[in-house]
Structure 1
Amino acid sequence: MTSHPVTGPQVTTPSGTTPPPRPRGRGKNVRWGIVVLCFGGLAVNYLDRSTLSVALPAMSKDLHIGPETQGFVLSAFFLTYAICQLPAGALLDKYGVKRVFALGAIWWSLATIGMGLVRGVGSLVGARMLLGAGEAGGYPAAAKAVSRWFPRRERTLANSVWDNGARVGTAIALPLVTALVSAFHWRIAFVVCGLLGFLWIFAWWRLYHEPADHPRLSDEEREYIEAGGARVEETPADQGDAPKVRWRDLFRYRTVWGMMLGFFCLNYVIYFFITWFPSYLVDERGFDLLSLGFFGTVPGLVAIVGSLLGGYTADRLLRKGWSITKVRKTCLISGTLCSSVIALAVVVPTASGALALLSLSYASLTFSTASVASLPADVAPSAGHVASLAGIQNFASNVAGVLGPIVTGFLLAASGGSYLVPLLVSGALSVVGALTYAFVIKRVEPLPVRA
């Protein structure tokens, strides 16, 4: 095989050798097509879960759903979504990304269509819980696919790309579902969004292959992926020496608990933007509906840029020769620490100043999420543990998703509607998250096998 010159800093592979150069030219970037597929899956995933939020005003009139019941209906999703993260990760490691991600998408698409057929609160809650169970595999599936398809020095940017599918899907839901409800009926909106899931399933089943058997993957790109530290499954010849760690034993590691606590703190703050942020702008800053529709999108757009910047920065530092521990800690600590400026939003006098601080906070959070999504592949004791760790980490983050909106509501009620205490709590948890990544996680490396 002809050798290729390598320019720039001499980055080494996990085995200590200099990696082959990045493939260039047509047909030598198949791995980025895989990321686009994962991006589409997460976009549909978040579109389907957001459909109810947009259609609920029209549904509540037909199904006689009172305000006291609407919150319960919305939160039912997160109960099964959080719990099912744990088995979803284990199933992905056991049966593979292609089959489990496709089955999960079929499940959640049918549940979305089912919400268009409900006749009352009971059936709606049931369909919403089924949706949460089906969508639980999306995050760990995308994380595992990227771990298999990308060398370590490109993995963070790739994770930031598919992670932004969540923000794009949520953004698309508002105009799409509103148009469908206005032109037809809220039941049609659920059916159309559910059918979009089947379009993605068709594309996923036809186009996704593992690196070992992808028909369009060149030898040059395959060598680049594998030599760069992609977490491919061990061959039968290697399995005798592969780490043997049971799923439940993953909870014995300090690093895993650090990953869980850190993501819990980070996601607690993110869920403020997903749930209470519009109410904050209206109640605390006096925004009207028109202003909310325009300015309320600003933090989300800035967050997309923050996520891509986080992925680019981490991979850039890796290519410059920084250790994986130093890169991950730098991005995780700086992002979560900077997000604590959310606490200052309540003391600045102007609405524009508050919006700027909130946008900075959200972008700082997404700056870190690119590295958070890479941690399971970084620390997994074997390739067969990546999705399991992603599911465990995401379980903890969605516990924060369940508790965060509830705690904020209680704090608002106790303080007479003031956002001072809720935002101070969010800022404090950002600092706790930074300290967790700094001191609880000592080194970012494959977990050692314990007797």
Structure 2
Amino acid sequence: MEQVIGKAQKTRVRYGMLALVFINVVINYLDRSNLSVAASSLSKDLELSPVEMGYIFSAFGWTYAVLQIPGGLVADRFGPRILYAFCLITWSVATVCQGFARGFASLFALRLATGMFEAPSYPINNRIVTSWFPDNERAAATAMYVSGQFIGLASLTPVLVTIQAYAGWKGLFVITGLVGLVWGVIWYLSYRDPLDHLGVNQAELEYIEKGGGLFRGKKTGTTHTSVWSWENIKLVFKGRTLWGVYIAQFAVNATLWFFLTWFPTYLVKYRGLDFIKSGYLASIPFLAACAGVLLSGFLSDKLVRKGWSVSAARKTPIIVGLILSTSIVGANYSTETAAIIFFMALSFFGAGMALISWVFVSLLSPKHLIGLTGGVFNFMGNLASIIVPIVIGYLAKDGDFKPALVFIGALGLLGACSYIFLVGKIERRA
């Protein structure tokens, strides 16, 4: 039964705002992963080698990772409504233009532009969830919007493959970019902060605030100039706990970026699967990852409600997930397609479990630096988007993909060790 505060039953506007963020994430990852679907045909038409494709896959991450800290600062300074609309529209324009790329240089530059304009997106997501949700619902809310990347890719990968089959890789980029342009306008018309939304009542605001939601004192989207100081930047780089979370996020994203970049090519080129068939098989690990992140989020919140310490309730599902992600190595010892997809799905299920790690940004960051801390967290994690595709390109250049999968599995183990040995007591920084 819906909790009643005073005489008024609280509204549930926060779930509507979460749904909007969920769709943002679907489109966000649609425009990150469309290149992986296009890669086989695109590399032939533009005559790109595996090493060159490794650099093309990584180009998004160069600007995306480097701009995470500025993106976090921008998320603290400007409101999600305007900033997210700007980001959606600009990265979608860059996506459309990728359909007209004529070679390595132009495609590389456009992927750099896509990463640049997407950079503030996850700090904004975290800022929105921190504003709209109390502490005891935040892991589940984080899991819900993070699941958008997997639900969207699982359901849309076969669609993307079909679009390319009929419209070519150029048409694929144009169509996915146009979707983002339209949604950018819808977002601007639909989203409001808690204090600005006409549909939210005082009971819901009190419920959010008493539970630790941060929207009072300053409106989301405004900040003091002190946020931009070097002292604040140093603050979010200090301490073993934060560094443990940062290192582990790199490991989680290593698995994620394998699936966002090389996975379809692995199935088609290195495992000899039919292109259309590979599109349907590729959706299975994404569904598994979605199940992992949802299970982890709701389980973590349930453990908190049962009286587990915050440290144990938040860290346990993540550690288990990172250990499971190492199972990707099992594909090296499999010849049957079903077994290969099983190990891939199990690995991505584990990585999905670990992706509730965004909840630590809300738990550990200073209250006035949530966006900045989220930017640093995402910067450290998304160094994987630069390093992993390039390393895989070099490891697989001679036609053997086995070393690449060992590399991904080893990083998963590193992430688990980081949470076990580096991340200590969970408490907010001053």
TM over 0.5: yes
- How far residue 379 of structure 1 moved from its aligned partner, in angstroms, is 0.7
| Mapped contact 1:23–1:29 kept (Cα < 8 A) | no
Q: What is the alpha-carbon distance in structure 1 between the residues aligned to residue 164 and residue 350 of structure 2?
A: 35
Q: Does 1:312 align with 2:294?
A: no
Shift of 1:283: 6.5
Aligned to 1:365: 351
Instruction: Please give the root-mean-square deviation of Cα atoms over the aligned residues, in Å.
Output: 3.3
Counterpart check, 1:337 vs 2:323: yes
Query: Cα deviations across residues 48-77 of structure 1 (Å, max 9, x unaligned)?
Result: 233344345665677x44336444333322
Answer yes or no: is the 8 Å Cα contact 2:240–2:423 preserved in 1: yes
User: Which residue does the alignment assign to 2:20?
Assistant: 37
2:138 corresponds to 1:155: yes
* Distance (whole Å) between structure 1 residues aligned to residue 116 and residue 7 of structure 2: 39
- Give the structure 2 partner of residue 436 of structure 1: 418
| Aligned partner (choices 378, 395, 415) of residue 394 of structure 1 | 378
Residue pair 1:38, 1:142 contacting (<8 A) in 2 also: yes
Task: State, as a whole percentage, how many aligned pairs show the same letter.
Answer: 34
Task: Return the offset for 1:285.
Answer: 5.6
Residues 254-305 of structure 1: per-residue CA shift (max 9 Å, x gap):
2221121010112112223333434554567664446534433221111111
Give the distance between the partners of 1:355 and 1:59, measured in 2 at CA.
24
1:207 alignment partner in structure 2: 190
Q: Residue 79 of structure 1 corresponds to which residue in structure 2?
A: 62
Q: Contact 1:328–1:444 (CA<8 Å) still a contact in 2? A: no
Structure 2 portions without partners, runs of 5+: none
**Larger Rg, first or second structure (1 or 2):** 1
Contact 2:267/2:278 (CA < 8 Å) preserved in 1? yes
Q: Which residue of 2 aligns with 1:409?
A: 393
Mapping of 1:94-133 within 5 angstroms? 94-118=77-101, 120-133=103-116
CA distance in 2 between counterparts of 1:65 and 1:259 reads 40
Counterpart in the other structure of 2:260: 274
* 1:308 Cα deviation from its structure 2 partner: 0.9
Aligned to 2:179: 196
SS of residue paired to 2:236:
helix
Q: Letter of the aligned partner of 1:79 in structure 2?
A: W
Q: Secondary structure at the match of 1:300?
A: helix
Letter matched to residue 329 of structure 1: K
Q: Deviations over 1:135-154 (max 9, x none)?
A: 11111111111111101111
The change in CA–CA distance for 1:309 and 1:390 in structure 2 (over 3 A counts) is: same
* TM-superposition CA deviations, 1:84-118 (whole Å, max 9, x none): 11210111012232222222112212212333444
Task: Identify the residue that residue 17 of structure 1 maps to in structure 2.
Answer: none
Q: Give 1:369 shift.
A: 0.5
Amino acid at match of 1:380: S
Partners in 2 of 1:286 and 1:22 — Cα distance? 64
Scaled by the length of structure 1, the TM-score of the pair is 0.83
Q: Are the equivalent residues in 1 in contact too, given 2:155–2:283 (CA < 8 A)?
A: no
Structure 1 stretches of 5 or more lacking a match? 7-19
Change (3 A) 1:234 1:324: farther
Residues in 1 aligned to 2:36 and 2:266: alpha-carbon distance in whole angstroms: 17
Q: 1:58 to 1:83 in 2, by over 3 A?
A: same
Q: Is residue 135 of structure 1 aligned with residue 121 of structure 2?
A: no
Query: Residues 235 and 85 (structure 1 numbering): CA distance in 2 closer, same or farther, change over 3 Å?
Result: closer
Give the corresponding residue for 1:257.
Answer: 243
Structure showing greater relative contact order (alpha-carbon pairs closer than 8 Å, 6 or more residues apart) = 2
User: Could you tell which deviates more after superposition, 144-153 or 388-397?
Assistant: 388-397
Q: Work out the CA distance in 1 between the residues paired with 2:6 and 2:85.
A: 30
The answer to which of 130-139 and 348-357 deviates more is 348-357
The equivalent residue for 2:362 is 377
| SS of the residue 1:297 aligns to | helix
Q: Distance in 2 between matches of 1:351 and 1:413?
A: 22
Say if 1:208 and 1:290 are closer, same or farther in 2 by CA, change over 3 A.
closer
Q: How many residues align?
A: 423
CA spacing shift, 1:117–1:281, aligned 2, 3 Å: closer
Matches of 1:139 and 1:325 in 2, distance apart? 23
Q: Distance in 1 between matches of 2:99 and 2:277?
A: 31
